[in-house]
């Protein structure tokens, strides 16, 4: 069977030049696999020059593998890393005969043994092969390529299973140059450096403000305008992130706090389908932007997600922001609840960072506020998962305007590349530490200087000083005519101008 082919277009995705498909792209094409395309694909160009584009890695002719199943799988593991979604689809389509022949012919080969393990791990089918007795133990995940989890030894295959998750939930993250640079910054230590010289009272006040800011932003992302009581109530929940272990019961508890009136919304794992999007104005048929996991798959997926989280937190061998991205975005893609998924998704970021000891105690990074500020990028990240998967989901509308999924879709949610999500989350955390947190601390320090200066000159109650500073802020350092005639009418013209000069001197 010929696997590789020369082309300039692959599934409506143009190549930068006429090139031969190799690795995962060749296998997807040859076996007609119904899977979302990997974010990065490979091909062999005509020139002796290796280069990268946004979607393609173009290799030189000397990299061209044997045009066999074994050859392209070897290339994929060596240069592209592990893609569980493609491999599972391939194993179901190609069967085991060629794999068994390859493994028998290369019983100590590292790539044949890794594929052997992955076949049995992904399909649950044991090949008719005796246990390996020779060959050095090798890692399933190459840690130069992707983030790995704690090691479990498989003596049958003589491999170290360092996949970060289990069969029911296992996103993978590639070690891009962007992520390597972020990790080298050691953002957790950078936060301590930026706050260690700040007075504890300032930190506590900054933490209180940022907590409410994050709670308010999380509602605004959902286009809700809650009362201050609801904002404070959810803020209190965020402040307790990391204190309660993640479980289905805990997720339902969080949902019950979000949904005050549950007469019309089912609490707990969905018993029906779910989608995000609109309804056609004329036909009222669903127009999905995202289709949630089938209700029959929810328990398996959520148990897998929770077990992966618990295992990785216990072992503490994976970067906290990588883990937060895998779990929080995995949760929102599964969309296990009828309502409240978005806020719990963002809560999970706080929960994992707190549980991992990444953020200083009692200090909440206002991640939702950053997400709101970067809402278009946030939507693009979510859509980069949802849009490519819609074509692989067969569904029909229900009488109540919902969707019913008709085919097997569980692999779409348990095996995915979470690299974009992780890069984006790292950018948001970095923005918080480098920009938002220092600005809030700086503001509070200036506020205190202004307050002291005002009280040295005037016997003014605290609430009126607060109002004064707010008015001056809102009006670019000037007291408006209305403020001078109402709240501060007892100030003389000279005193008002003195306060304005003082404000500009302190706040700039």
At 458 the pLDDT is 87
| In a domain? residue 259 | yes
Q: What angle do CA 458, 460, 466 make, to 5 degrees?
A: 120
Tally of domains in the chain: 4
Q: What angle do CA 187, 192, 193 make, to 5 degrees?
A: 90
At 507 the pLDDT is 87
Same domain, 16 and 147: no
| In a domain? residue 452 | no
Same domain, 389 and 478: no
Same domain, 301 and 159: no
Tokens 């949902």 sit on residue:
255
Tens of pLDDT along 441-452?
888 898 899 899
Q: How confident is the model at residue 35 (pLDDT cuts 50, 70, 90)?
A: very high
CA end-to-end span of the chain: 73
**For the chain, percent of residues with pLDDT exceeding 70:** 100
What does the CA dihedral 39, 45, 51, 56 come to, rounded to 10 degrees? -10
| In a domain? residue 435 | no
At 306 the pLDDT is 97
| In a domain? residue 33 | yes
Query: Which of 66, 63, 51 shows the shortest CA–CA distance to 4?
Result: 66
Average pLDDT over residues 414-437: 94
Same domain, 221 and 274: yes
| In a domain? residue 181 | yes
Same domain, 101 and 200: no
Distance CA 145, CA 259 (A): 42
Classify residue 146 by its DSSP letter: B
What is the domain-level CATH number for residue 318? 1.10.3290
Q: How confident is the model at residue 54 (pLDDT cuts 50, 70, 90)?
A: very high
| In a domain? residue 172 | no
Same domain, 257 and 220: yes
Same domain, 84 and 110: no
Same domain, 412 and 481: no
Tens of pLDDT along 262-295?
777 888 999 999 999 999 888 889 999 999 999 9
Q: Which of 418, 445, 473 is the endpoint of a domain?
A: 418
What burial letters (b/e) apply to 33-55, b meaning 16+ CB within 10 Å?
bebbbbbbbbbbbeeeeeeeeee
**Residues 6 or more apart whose Cβ sits within 8 Å of residue 426:** 178, 179, 182, 187, 321
Same domain, 126 and 214: no
Q: Which of 138, 163, 188 is the endpoint of a domain?
A: 163
What Rg do the C-alpha atoms of the chain give, in angstroms? 28
| In a domain? residue 424 | no
Same domain, 188 and 215: yes
Same domain, 289 and 143: no
Distance CA 198, CA 207 (A): 13
| In a domain? residue 168 | no
- Domain of 484 in residue numbering reads as 458-507
Same domain, 243 and 329: yes
At 363 the pLDDT is 78
Tens of pLDDT along 176-215?
999 999 999 999 888 888 787 788 888 888 888 888 888 9
What is the model's pTM? 0.92
Tokens 């300032």 sit on residue:
202
């Amino acid at each position: 069977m010929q696997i590789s082919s020369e082309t300039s277009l692959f599934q409506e995705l143009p190549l930068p030049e006429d090139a031969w498909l190799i690795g995962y792209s060749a296998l997807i094409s040859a076996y007609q696999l119904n899977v979302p395309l990997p974010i990065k694909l490979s091909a062999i160009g005509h020139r002796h020059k290796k280069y990268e584009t946004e979607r393609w890695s173009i290799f030189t002719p000397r990299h061209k593998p044997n045009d066999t199943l074994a050859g392209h799988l070897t290339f994929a593991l060596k240069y592209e890393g592990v893609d569980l979604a493609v491999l599972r689809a391939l194993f179901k389509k190609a069967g085991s005969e060629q794999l068994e022949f390859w493994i028998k012919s290369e019983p100590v080969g590292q790539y044949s043994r890794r594929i052997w393990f992955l076949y049995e791990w992904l399909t649950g089918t044991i090949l008719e092969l005796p246990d390996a007795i020779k060959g050095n133990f090798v890692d399933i995940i190459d840690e130069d390529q992707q983030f790995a989890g704690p090691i479990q030894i498989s003596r049958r295959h003589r491999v170290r299973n360092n996949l970060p998750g289990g069969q029911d939930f296992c996103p993978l993250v590639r070690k891009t140059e962007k992520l390597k640079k972020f990790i080298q910054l050691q953002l957790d230590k950078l936060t301590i450096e930026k706050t260690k010289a700040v007075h504890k009272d300032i930190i506590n006040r900054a933490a209180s403000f940022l907590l409410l800011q994050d709670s308010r932003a999380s509602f605004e992302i959902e286009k809700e305008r809650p009362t201050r009581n609801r904002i404070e109530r959810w803020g209190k929940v965020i402040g307790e992130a990391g204190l309660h272990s993640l479980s289905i019961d805990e997720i339902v508890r969080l949902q019950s706090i979000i949904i005050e009136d549950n007469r019309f919304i089912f609490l707990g794992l969905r018993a029906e389908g779910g989608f995000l999007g609109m309804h056609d104005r004329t036909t009222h048929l669903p127009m999905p932007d995202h289709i949630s996991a089938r209700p029959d798959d929810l328990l398996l997926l959520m148990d897998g997600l929770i077990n992966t989280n618990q295992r990785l937190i216990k072992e503490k061998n994976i970067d906290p922001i990588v883990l937060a991205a895998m779990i929080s975005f995995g949760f929102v893609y599964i969309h296990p609840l009828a309502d409240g998924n978005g806020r719990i998704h963002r809560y999970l970021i706080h929960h994992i960072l707190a549980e991992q000891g990444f953020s200083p105690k009692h200090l909440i990074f206002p991640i939702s506020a950053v997400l709101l500020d970067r809402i278009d990028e946030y939507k693009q990240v979510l859509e980069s998962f949802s849009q490519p998967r819609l074509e692989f989901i067969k569904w029909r509308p229900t009488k109540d305007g919902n969707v019913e999924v008709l085919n097997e879709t569980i692999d779409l949610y348990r095996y995915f590349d979470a690299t974009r999500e992780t890069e984006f989350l790292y950018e948001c955390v970095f923005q918080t530490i480098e920009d938002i947190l220092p600005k809030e601390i700086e503001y509070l320090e200036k506020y205190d200087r202004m307050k002291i200066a005002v009280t040295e000159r005037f016997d003014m109650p605290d609430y009126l000083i607060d109002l004064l500073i707010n008015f001056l802020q809102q009006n670019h350092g000037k007291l408006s005519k209305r403020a001078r005639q109402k709240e501060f009418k007892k100030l003389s013209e000279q005193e008002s101008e003195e306060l304005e000069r003082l404000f500009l001197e302190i706040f700039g």
